[in-house]
Chains A and B, each alone.
Chain A
Amino acid sequence: MKKYNTPLIDQLEKGPWPSFVTEMKKAGKTNEMANDAVGHLEKCYTTKMGYWKHGGIVGVLGYGGGVIGRYSEIGDEFPGVAHFHTVRLNQPSGFFYTSKALREICDIWDKYGSGLTNVHGSTGDLVLLGTKTDALEAIFAEYSSRGWDLGSSGSALRTPSCCVGPGRCEWTMYDTLGLNYALTQEFQDEMHRPTFSYKFKIKSSGCACDCVASIARADMSIIGTWKGDIQIDQNEVKNYASKMNINAEIINMCPTQCMSYDGKELKINNAECSRCMHCIAKMTKALKPGKERGATICIGSKAPIVVGSLLSWVIVPFIKIEEPYTEVKELIRKIWDWWDENAKPRERIGEVIEMKGMRSFLEAIGVPPMPQQIKEPRKDPFMFYTEDDIASYKAKEAEEKKTGKYKF
């Protein structure tokens, strides 16, 4: 195995924190691809150039995604990374694995790839870094024979992901694991056979703490929420008062200022609450979400690729999320139909809504306009005037002008 001199990336091994360079070097002791990846990285740092090319035609027969082609421009110098494709594995809902499953994944990866992994990639998949084109079919065959499947890439539904939900969290307002699993099963075709104009991501968070960052990173964000009043245990509030400053840490930090505490009793004006979870997350024993639980569905967030970044926008303020999730599935299909009709290549749904307008989008998917859909506070919401509305307004205005009642 060739030994590379790596003074620059060695700097990244200093300090008390774990170092990816250390891990790459460890893998490089037994794996030529990982070893060349170390040398390649040092070269990138030395010349301040990235030599990676991505895309092209790599994948397994019948699938349109799951493998992202990566090649080095300097493959002659570093043959181990001349092909260094990324393989995405569909992660289990909530990222739960047994240690046996992880060993199995890594054993197969050691056999065919660089041994380097990225658990998990920002999309949510379990990411295996670096293999050659001629190993792809064998990799797929071995993983699928053990019940694993490739994740998604390209212009497709990206592998849906969710928070740990009811598996480990008392705040989840719906079964994120169940919904995520059901959506993954339902939309296998849309995941593996790219039919869309561009990528589409669905992320499910059980509450507004939003542990999978769905509000910023999913075209469709399904975020748990509740109806009704926050449940308060005043005895527990007293216990918290003995160890924290409730006014400073809770009341003053409430974004809608809907709470008060007089030293004896905590009060919440629930009509003003935006369900941000701050108070509940800080006073876990004293406060609980309301009893009627479901989710808010938002649409359109994305990172800045074609145009600037967007956050998701509420389209359904409250929906019950219950098996068999028919309502959610039907809504998703309607959203895709509208997107497909209106998008040009590489346009995310949020961008198309910005261009075509929320009005036409809501009309197409059959969701009525609601005050909660306002995009930003203290700005005019979109108004839905029909032609009849305008005609009657003009008639009224003409009448008022005639009678002298009209005031500008």
Chain B
Amino acid sequence: METAELQDKIFAFVEAAKGKKKLKEKDIIKGVSAEQNVPGDDVKKAMRAMIDVGRLMYSYGGGASSVEIPSEEYLREKGLIK
């Protein structure tokens, strides 16, 4: 699977959990890997590339970290949108 396509699958996976479950990195790696039948390392690399450019982001709440879709406010703060 091409990286861009895999990243879309990852994004969809995170979007589906929005408001229902806080996803750890490992949840996404395991979930997408099983769903798409691709190696976990590929999912990890693709996901981290998304985090590096602000398509996904790390969040923190209740003592634990998770991965989420960034808000517009966050993207504006990081200068990724105007």
User: Footprint of B on A, CB under 8 Å?
Assistant: 55-57, 59, 61-65, 69, 133-134, 137, 153-156, 193-198, 305, 340, 345-346
Contacts and interface: CB of A to CB of B under 8 A. Distances in A.
Contacts of B63: 155, 198, 305, 346
A340 B58 contact: no
Nearest to A57: B59
A57 B72 CA distance: 12
Interface string B34-66: 000000000000001001101001111111110
Nearest to B54: A61
24 contacts: A55-B60, A55-B61, A56-B60, A57-B60, A59-B58, A61-B54, A62-B51, A64-B51, A65-B60, A137-B79, A153-B60, A154-B64, A154-B65, A193-B25, A193-B51, A194-B60, A194-B65, A195-B24, A195-B25, A195-B26, A198-B63, A198-B64, A345-B22, A345-B24
* Chain B interface size, under 10 / 10 to 19 / 20 to 34 / 35 or more: 20 to 34
Closest 3 CB pairs of A and B: A64-B58, A194-B65, A154-B65
Q: Please indicate which of the listed interface residues B25, B61, B64 has the most CB atoms of chain A within 10 Å of its own CB.
A: B64
Nearest to A194: B65
A207 to B, nearest CB: 33
Given A63-B58, A65-B65, A134-B77, A340 B26 contact: yes
Nearest to B59: A57
B78 interface: yes
Interface of B: 22, 24-26, 48, 51-52, 54, 57-65, 68, 70-71, 74, 77-79
B74 to A, nearest CB: 6
A191 B60 CA distance: 14
Given A194-B25, A195-B26, A62 B71 contact: no
Contact of A154 (B26, B51, B60): B60
The residue among B58, B61, B77 with the most chain A CB atoms within 10 A of its own CB is B58
B24 A154 contact: no
A123 B22 CA distance: 26
Nearest to A306: B63
B72 to A, nearest CB: 12
A155 B58 CA distance: 11
Contacts of B54: 61
Contacts of A55: 60-62
A153 B26 CA distance: 17
A346 B68 CA distance: 18
A94 B61 CA distance: 31
A345 B66 CA distance: 10
Question: Which residue, A57, A62, A154, A156, has most C-beta atoms of chain B within 10 A?
Answer: A57
A56 B65 contact: no
Contacts of B78: 61, 137
A305 B63 CA distance: 10
A65 to B, nearest CB: 7
Contact of A61 (B24, B52, B59): B52
A137 B77 CA distance: 9
Contacts of A340: 26
Nearest to A134: B77
